[in-house]
Amino acid sequence: MGKPTGFLEYERCENKKRPPLERVRDWEDLYIPVEGEQRLLQGARCMNCGIPFCQAGVQFEGKQLGCPLHNLIPEWNDMLMDGNYGHALSRLLKTNNFPEFTGRVCPAFCEQACTCGLYDQPITVHDNERSIIEYAFQNGMMKPRFTRNASGKNVVVIGSGPAGLAVADQLNHRGHSVTVVEKHPRAGGILTYGIPNMKLPKSVVQRRIDLMTDEGVTFVTGLDASDPAIARRLSAEYDAVVLCCGAEEPRAIGVDAGGVKGVCYAMDFLHASVERQIFGLETDGPGAAGKDVVIIGTGNTASDCVASALRQGCRSVTQLVRRGREDYLDASGRLPQDYAQEEAESLFGADPRRFGQSVAELRTDGDGNLTEITTKSGDTLPCGLLIGATGFAGCREDVCAAFGVERDRTVKTEKGCYQTSVPHIFTAGDMHRGQSLVVHAIAEGRAAAVEVDRFLMGYTNLL
């Protein structure tokens, strides 16, 4: 431990959000990173605990305790304190394939488990992680890594979200020939199409795709493996198949929207937003410009819809939350806000959330266009676009049917395993565990890669 009294001497200094009224006018990064000497001091605050709960990565009483990837946090914090970014990077990449993703969109279970946070503010683990990987990319430290010994085995990964990318990265560095198949025109899955640019810039995703391509991973985009003929060909041509298609089936919004124009689900809205605002494509997907927008649901996806609607120039935005306000109060009795709610209040003067509310009825004009909604409490709200951000019901049935694997809500496997009912076909990520977080998807991908490697080679040296 380089600075035994660091946590006593230095105060927490986290990355600062740009002012709401500034950031809501563009799609650029939400945060202004803290760098230089101050970043090193944040590493010095780490207590190097005898039992580092931050990296425990276990479930305790139904809650996640510490990092699911078991990141070696005290080690790279110590190296960061010394300004030794090279060694910090080596320890970070040992457990995390994509710190540039988790350093932006992870809820930081590590900080919630930080011992320093018991009586003071936790270490800025999340920001420190982002700082290390960004320093590495900016200073030429992230160079292609090649494996000397090829295994002669080939693997196809279906889906290029965080789980699929983690599987591909692990197996490629093990020496297998890896192809990643993505149905959309660009690789990245939910990283590209489901998370807004201000939270995860698409240049950051593409930077990683380019690095993996340089390292030998083949990406095939615009190919939908739910086509039975394509699935049969892939299954026959590859020694192993890994299904990482996510949990794409949305949960119903709870009201009949048949024939109503102006109702969509969150992923369709966010996907169209990325195509239109970031890639400059013409799309007939749902948009919020000039409309009164109502979003059903809470959580990260609902907030991303709020923030995207604001940036598109909506007339108003309302977020309907089924549970009561008291369920969301913190220990001091205050109602926390995330970045999107801060922006909505700054722009329109009020928090967009209405608690204890759900939709009872949709009203349309003569052409079937949505104009209003009524809630079960009797309120009437103007609405030209209703977005369901109510979560996900499970994985797509067509992909499972095409590959002949058993499913219910997710793909069926033995408990704690990733092999499906078809011996050479595996699964990982949300398709395997259900709707979850990017950090869990990466952990799933790494674990599935171990099982695939053992299947192919008879043993494994992957961690």
Q: How far apart are CA 40 and CA 311, in angstroms?
A: 35
Provide mean pLDDT across the span 414-421: 96
Higher pLDDT, 148 or 64: 64
- Closest residue by Cα to residue 177 from 160, 212, 158, 152: 152
| 294 within a domain of the structure (yes/no) | yes
Provide mean pLDDT across the span 241-263: 94
- Closest residue by Cα to residue 73 from 40, 105, 100, 95: 95
Q: How far apart are CA 260 and CA 283, in angstroms?
A: 19
Tokens of 53: 């709960």
Instruction: Report whether 263 contacts 254 (CB < 8 A).
Output: no
| 167 within a domain of the structure (yes/no) | yes
> Is the per-residue pLDDT at 230 higher than 60?
yes
Which residue among 349, 374, 390 closes a domain? 390
DSSP character at residue 322 = S
CATH number of the domain encompassing residue 275: 3.50.50.60
Amino acid at 180: V
Q: Could you tell me if 336 and 276 lie in one domain? A: yes
CATH number of the domain encompassing residue 19: 1.10.1060.10
Share of the chain above pLDDT 70, in %: 100
Number of residues that this document lists for the chain: 463
Q: How far apart are CA 15 and CA 7, in angstroms?
A: 18
Instruction: Report whether 164 contacts 445 (CB < 8 A).
Output: yes
Buried b (16+ CB within 10 A) or exposed e, 309-330: bbbbebebbbbbbeeeeeeeee
- pLDDT tier at 83, thresholds 50, 70, 90: very high
Q: Could you tell me if 48 and 118 lie in one domain? A: yes
The total of structural domains in the chain comes to 3
Per-residue pLDDT tens for 336-388? 999 999 999 999 999 999 999 999 999 999 999 999 999 999 999 999 999 99
Sheet holding 359-364: strands in order across?
A: 359-364, 370-375, 380-382
Q: How far apart are CA 11 and CA 16, in angstroms?
A: 15
Q: How many helices (H) and strands (E) does the chain have?
A: 18, 19
- pLDDT tier at 2, thresholds 50, 70, 90: low
Q: How far apart are CA 334 and CA 70, in angstroms?
A: 32
CA distances from residue 9 to 16, 117, 120 in whole angstroms, order as listed: 21, 15, 12
Per-residue pLDDT tens for 185-207? 999 999 999 999 999 999 999 99
Q: How far apart are CA 162 and CA 441, in angstroms?
A: 6
Q: Could you tell me if 223 and 122 lie in one domain? A: no
Q: Could you tell me if 353 and 426 lie in one domain? A: no
Per-residue pLDDT tens for 447-457? 999 999 999 99
- pLDDT tier at 61, thresholds 50, 70, 90: confident
| 463 within a domain of the structure (yes/no) | no
Q: How far apart are CA 218 and CA 461, in angstroms?
A: 23
Q: Could you tell me if 128 and 179 lie in one domain? A: no
User: What pLDDT score does 18 carry?
Assistant: 98
Helix (H) or strand (E) holding 139: none
| 117 within a domain of the structure (yes/no) | yes
- Closest residue by Cα to residue 442 from 68, 148, 59: 68
Please tell me whether residue 319 adopts helix, strand or coil conformation: strand
Q: Could you tell me if 326 and 362 lie in one domain? A: yes
Q: Could you tell me if 402 and 368 lie in one domain? A: no
| 146 within a domain of the structure (yes/no) | no
Q: How far apart are CA 374 and CA 238, in angstroms?
A: 53
Radius of gyration of the chain (CA): 23
Per-residue pLDDT tens for 173-185? 999 999 999 999 9
Instruction: Report whether 156 contacts 179 (CB < 8 A).
Output: yes
Which residue among 114, 138, 162 closes a domain? 138
| 164 within a domain of the structure (yes/no) | yes
Q: Could you tell me if 383 and 307 lie in one domain? A: yes
Count other C-beta atoms under 10 Å from residue 456's C-beta.
21
Q: Are strands 392-394 and 249-250 parallel, antiparallel or unpaired?
A: antiparallel
Q: Could you tell me if 275 and 297 lie in one domain? A: yes
Mean pLDDT of the chain: 96
Which residue among 88, 106, 138 closes a domain? 138
Provide mean pLDDT across the span 155-163: 98
Q: Could you tell me if 221 and 286 lie in one domain? A: no
> Is the per-residue pLDDT at 405 higher than 90?
yes
Which residue range(s) make up the domain with 64? Answer: 6-138
Q: How far apart are CA 328 and CA 351, in angstroms?
A: 13
* Cα angle 452, 457, 462; round to 5: 60
End-to-end CA, the chain: 26
| 257 within a domain of the structure (yes/no) | no
Q: Could you tell me if 274 and 361 lie in one domain? A: yes
| 179 within a domain of the structure (yes/no) | yes
Q: Could you tell me if 268 and 375 lie in one domain? A: yes
Can you say how many angstroms the Cα of residue 300 is from the centroid of all Cα atoms in its chain? 9
> Is the per-residue pLDDT at 1 higher than 60?
no
Instruction: Report whether 15 contacts 34 (CB < 8 A).
Output: yes
